Chain A
Amino acid sequence: MEQTNSSFKQEKTQTKDWAYTLHHATRATHEDWLGRSISYTCIGIIILVVASMLWFITSKGIATFTQNHVNVWQFLSGTNWAPDQGKIGALPMIVGSFAVTFAAALVATPFAIGTAIFMTEIAPKRGRKFLQPVIELLVGIPSVVYGFIGLAVVVPFMRHLVGGSGFGIISATFVLFVMVLPTITTMTVDSLRAVPRFYKEASLALGATRWQTVSRVILRAATPGILTAIIFGMARAFGEALAVQMVIGNAAIMPKNLVSPAATLTSQLTTGIGDTIDGTLPNNALWSLALILLLMSLFFNALVRVIAKRGQLSHER
């Protein structure tokens, strides 16, 4: 009798423990709750930063059109930039930005692809040991240093070669070429390494030479990746501010040739934003240039996504 009583008691306390465990959180649950809230807060901060960045720059950028009632088309196609006189045609800067971007990408791409082929196909060992640090160093050099070297070496050289001031699109192209080269090279190397080994082996087994294999099999299989690399390089060139601003000459006029002073969106922004008063037309017009930069950056981003998707599809097929 006594025994049953005690076992009954024991059972009762056990039920109580279960009830306790079920209704009260353990220490691990508390920890998880804490960890979850910490990490959610951190990601929340980043999202907040991105959202407010997009919101602020967009709302400042469209003020030219909503408050100053400038026609969007006139802004984009006008060639006369004199904000003090109320004339804000942004085409010279837009043309300047696109010119240096495309020119830099055009020059850098063959160099980048050549270097990447060397690093992956011709001398993988030396590539990893010797060229990898070279590329990393090129990435690490700050953009003002590139600008300074452009100013001290490239500009005088161009002045010597073609006369004039030496400032201009071609000098900016030179500087940007060196700056986007490591970006395009690194990403091209990655995409060449991602090509399945048996593609190469199959081609070589058929008696193809190394160059035939590289040009007709490996490069073709890696095309989406290489395109992505070029777009990343172009995005970097398009957004680079100080190095370009130091060598392009900063004249907001339609560039007539490659060796006369010109301006880009970024160079105009860096030179101008400190000298204008908040809320006035000259200031708003500069923010509209910033908005174009932002939209182009989003566009490059979207382009990369589209290519990535296409690339996936062609591999699956």
Chain B
Amino acid sequence: MNAKRKDLLATIIIDVIVATVVGILAFLLAYILISGLPHVSWLFLTGSADSFSGAGGIGIQLFNSFYLLILTMLISIPISLGAGIYLAEYAKDNWRTRLIRSAIEVLSSLPSVVVGLFGFLLFVVKFKIGFSVISGAIALTFFNLPLLTRNIEESLSAVSRSQREAGLSLGLSKWKTEIGIILPVALPGIVTGIVLSAGRVFGEAAVLIYTAGQSAPVTNFSDWNPMDAASPLNPFRPAETLAVHIWKVNTEGLATNAAQLSAAASAVLIIAVLLFNLFARVLGNYLYRRVTASK
């Protein structure tokens, strides 16, 4: 076989590979949407699940997913912003910074089940808070911090040096320069990163099964006082999220319509994650246009 034939053959093989990959994604999406969407109704999205048959809606789980997401973001954004500013601005290139960077890398490469077990050990076993929203949110924060920090640091470092020098030469402090000049320029990248990480957090289950728990007690949606036990906002109640629900319905095998239920729940989950991705793109582009004043 001569070189040209080989070249042609290789190209064909690569084309087939790419077609397979695209086919896999198309199959995954089509399977979930086709088998799941017909079962998605308003009642399904808002109704409460029957814990024995597993039938019924996913209203509480959906609420829990969003509630945990918001709490997680409220905790993790400020911390990773501070840490990102440290790494981009204050950190000197020495062994201490290298150690900090490797610590963050280690945290980001830890399996999520290990992060979940650590949360379980800390909050459920040691502090005796029990399976609760707050345990879940903090464990999710541990899971979210390294990636978000790295994203923020990268966005901040990508801003040109001259902007920093301009700020400092005006007599601004480093902090003021960072907050007032660098951060707004880096904002599109940061916001995109935040929304993408929100998608990751929304679909995460391994961190949550032993921290936020696997039960969704019926809550009273007319009671919005976070201190009441039956309130949906109460941070000390167990909160099974949508992703955990899919896992539980499939592994316990109690539900007779497990496949149907999880197909519908998966469809909702996938659509939510797709929306997060789309939103990240649109918002990032919009902010980029606003900040750079380009058309």
User: Given the complex of chains A and B, what is the CA–CA distance between A32 and B171 in angstroms?
Assistant: 12
Tell me, in angstroms, the Cα distance from A143 to B142 when the chains sit together.
18
B110 contacts A43, CB within 8 Å?
A: no
Could you tell me if B31 and A290 are in contact, using CB atoms closer than 8 angstroms?
Answer: no
Contact B21 A53 (CB under 8 A): no
In angstroms, Cα B263 to Cα A153, docked, is 12
A49 to B122, CA, bound (A): 11
Tell me if A269 is interfacial: C-beta within 8 Å of chain B. Answer: yes
Q: Assuming A39-B89, A46-B145, A131-B18, is B10 touching A147 (CB within 8 A)?
A: no
One of B66-74, B221-229, B265-273 contacting the partner = B265-273
Give the residues in chain A near B105, CB-CB below 8 Å: 301
How many A residues have CB within 8 A of the partner chain? 82
A60 touching B121, Cβ below 8 Å:
yes
Contact check, B14 vs A118: say whether CB atoms are below 8 A apart: yes
Enumerate chain B residues within 8 angstroms of A270, measured Cβ to Cβ.
113, 206, 209
Using A140-B277, A293-B114 as known contacts, say yes or no to A145 and B7 having CB atoms under 8 A apart. Answer: no
Selected from A49, A111, A141, the residue in CB contact (under 8 A) with B17 is A111
Of all chain B residues, the one with the shortest Cβ separation from A134 is B25
- Whether A194 is near chain B, meaning CB under 8 Å from some CB there, is no
A155 CB, nearest partner CB in chain B, Å? 11
Docked pose: A173 CA to B168 CA in angstroms: 55
Asked whether, in the complex, the Cβ of B118 is within 8 Å of the Cβ of A53, the reply is yes
Q: Is the interface of A mostly helix, strand, loop or mixed?
A: helix
| B32: interface (CB < 8 Å) | yes
Residues of B within 8 A of A118 (CB): 14-15, 17-18
CB contacts (< 8 Å) of A178 on chain B: these are 24, 28
CB distance from B263 to the nearest CB of A (A): 7
B17 and A110 within 8 A (CB):
yes
Chain B contacts for A41, CB-based, 8 A: 82
Interchain nearest-CB distance for B6 vs A (Å): 6
Contacts A28-B172, A209-B3 given; indicate if A145 touches B31 (C-beta within 8 A): no
Residues of B within 8 Å of A137, CB to CB, are: 25, 29, 274, 277
> What 1/0 mask marks residues of chain B from 256 to 281 whose CB sits below 8 Å from any chain A CB?
00010011001001100110110000
| Alpha-carbon separation in the docked complex, A118 to B22 (Å) | 12
Report how far A118 CA is from B18 CA in the complex, Å.
7
Report the Cα distance A245→B244, complex, angstroms. Answer: 13
A212, B106: Cβ atoms under 8 Å?
Answer: no
Bound together, the chains give a CA A139 to CA B276 distance in angstroms of 13
Distance to closest chain A CB from B174 (angstroms) = 5
Are A32 and B174 in touch, CB under 8 angstroms?
Answer: yes
What is the CB-to-nearest-CB distance from B183 to chain A, in angstroms, rounded to a whole number? Answer: 12
A106 at the interface (CB under 8 A from B): no
Q: Which residues of A contact B266 (CB under 8 A)?
A: 144-145, 148-149
Asked whether, in the complex, the Cβ of A43 is within 8 Å of the Cβ of B87, the reply is: yes
B62 at the interface (CB under 8 A from A): no
B281 to chain A, nearest CB (A): 9
The verdict on A241 contacting chain B, using a C-beta distance below 8 Å, is: yes
Q: Are A211 and B11 in contact (CB under 8 A)?
A: yes
Q: Which of B41-49, B232-240, B246-254 contacts A (4 or more CB under 8 A)?
A: B246-254
Contact for B106 among A38, A266, A301, CB less than 8 A: A301
Q: Is the CB of A141 within 8 A of B82?
A: no
* A45-68 with Cβ < 8 A to chain B: 45-47, 49-54, 56-57, 60
Q: Which of B14, B243, B251, B277 contacts A136 (CB 8 A)?
A: B277
Nearest to A126 among chain B residues (CB) is: B18
On whether A293 and B113 interact (CB within 8 A), knowing A46-B83, A145-B203, A209-B6, the answer reads yes
Q: Name the contact of A35 in the complex, choosing from B10, B83, B178 (C-beta under 8 A).
A: B178
Query: Does B173 reach chain A (CB closer than 8 Å)?
Result: yes
CA distance A266 to B113 in the complex (A): 7
User: Which among B87, B172, B247 is the interface contact of A144 at CB below 8 angstroms?
Assistant: B247
Are A36's CB and B142's CB within 8 A?
no
Asked if B79 is at the interface of the complex by the 8 Å CB criterion, the answer is yes
A139 closest partner in B (C-beta): B200
Residue of B nearest to A47 (CB): B103
Is the CB–CB distance between A57 and B171 below 8 Å? Answer: no
- Other A-B contacts than A136-B277, A209-B7, 16 sampled, CB-CB below 8 A, are A28-B171, A42-B79, A50-B103, A57-B118, A114-B14, A143-B205, A144-B246, A147-B246, A152-B259, A178-B24, A178-B28, A181-B21, A210-B10, A241-B206, A242-B247, A274-B210
Which A residues fall within an 8 A CB radius of B? 27-29, 31-32, 34-36, 38-43, 45-47, 49-54, 56-57, 60, 110-111, 114-115, 117-118, 122, 131, 134, 136-138, 140-145, 147-149, 151-153, 178, 181, 185, 208-212, 214-215, 235, 238-242, 245-246, 266, 269-270, 273-274, 278, 287, 290, 293-294, 297-298, 300-301
9 contacts between A and B (CB under 8 A): A39-B90, A43-B82, A56-B121, A140-B277, A144-B203, A148-B262, A209-B3, A270-B113, A301-B105
Closest 9 CB pairs between A and B?
A239-B111, A35-B175, A142-B203, A42-B82, A114-B17, A39-B86, A28-B173, A241-B113, A209-B7
